[in-house]
Structure 1
């Protein structure tokens, strides 16, 4: 299974991006192909009608999303919602990129957990005809710490991530083989 993970943070060394890389590593260890599309590195123009669809970074995003069998959307939680850069990226994509693909939503929040951004992501996925994974990942506060090997420091956080990824993979493989 090929998975595209979209990291929706613009901060260098963001915990959201670290989370994406850790999930990608878990997927790769299980024999899946994983690509992290980091919105801090791939700067997109603001969405709107016009020539932006031909922008080099929009074309890269479109190709990464279209070629995926499944997607992971990860965001910091800002003011009870997803990041502006992730919403902007999703605005460039339509249902042809999500239709019947499983999507895992994940976030990194300043508080203990941040469910508002996850609910918003799941609503967007439904509107794009994607299939929400019944599990999601929210890491917050001190649980956002990763060690020098890119692994969560907290054992409970690592177990939660592994559990959600296992559910995501199971559903993704069923859909791919259906």
Structure 2
């Protein structure tokens, strides 16, 4: 099972990126083939609808190929002013139903406050509009829950349990949908 993880942070070492990497490692433990696309390290150009078919960018081509070939998709973003980052929204604007149609999508966020629910809701609306299937579970970390060990694991046992439960649900949805 192929999983594409898109990290939409504007920072080199953000908690949403650490969460995405942790989730990727847990999916690999479940036997998934994970491809991690970090929009900080591999940015894509600004989306221009009039020039959509003329964009020749290596990072964009890699992103589109990764998502198109995936069985499931994970979107991870910090919450900036009540929404996902501009870099993630811009990347998603380049993609459409040919990339997401009928695929299970898990959304995650990291917020300075308690939780990043606005980001999660907005990402789920975007997923619906590109014909993806939202996983009804999501992962949101906030405040002290955003602490990770030097090995890249959440310090909070509650977050580890939440991730494990959510990923089990996510993977089961993908398996059942592919039957």
TM-score, shorter chain, exceeding 0.5: yes
- The alpha carbon displacement at 1:53 in A equals 3.0
Indicate the larger mover: 88-97 or 54-63: 54-63
TM (normalized to structure 2)?
0.96
Q: Deviations over 1:59-116 (max 9, x none)?
A: 0110111110000000000111110000000000000100000000000001011100
Q: Which runs of 5 or more structure 1 residues have no equivalent in the other structure?
A: none
CA positional deviation for 1:35: 1.1
Instruction: Tell whether 2:2 aligns with 1:2.
Output: yes
CA contact (8 A) 2:4 2:67 kept: yes
Counterparts of 1:1-150 in structure 2 under 5 Å?
Answer: 1-48=1-48, 49-50=50-51, 53-150=55-152
- Structure 2's unaligned 5+ residue stretches are none
Cα distance in 2 for residues equivalent to 1:60 and 1:32: 19
In 2, are the aligned partners of 1:53 and 1:92 still within 8 Å (CA)?
no
Partners of 2:74 and 2:98 lie apart in 1 by: 16
3-state SS, counterpart of residue 168 of structure 2: helix
For 1:127 and 1:50, the matched residues in 2 are separated by 21
Q: Judge which range, 46-55 or 128-137, deviates more.
A: 46-55
Task: Give 4+ residue runs of structure 1 displaced > 4 Å after superposition.
Answer: none
Q: What number of residue pairs does the alignment pair up?
A: 177
TM-score w.r.t. structure 1 length? Answer: 0.97
Q: Following the alignment from structure 1 to structure 2, what is the Cα–Cα distance between the partners of residues 53 and 108?
A: 31
Q: Secondary structure at the match of 1:151?
A: coil
3-state SS of the aligned residue for 1:162?
Answer: helix
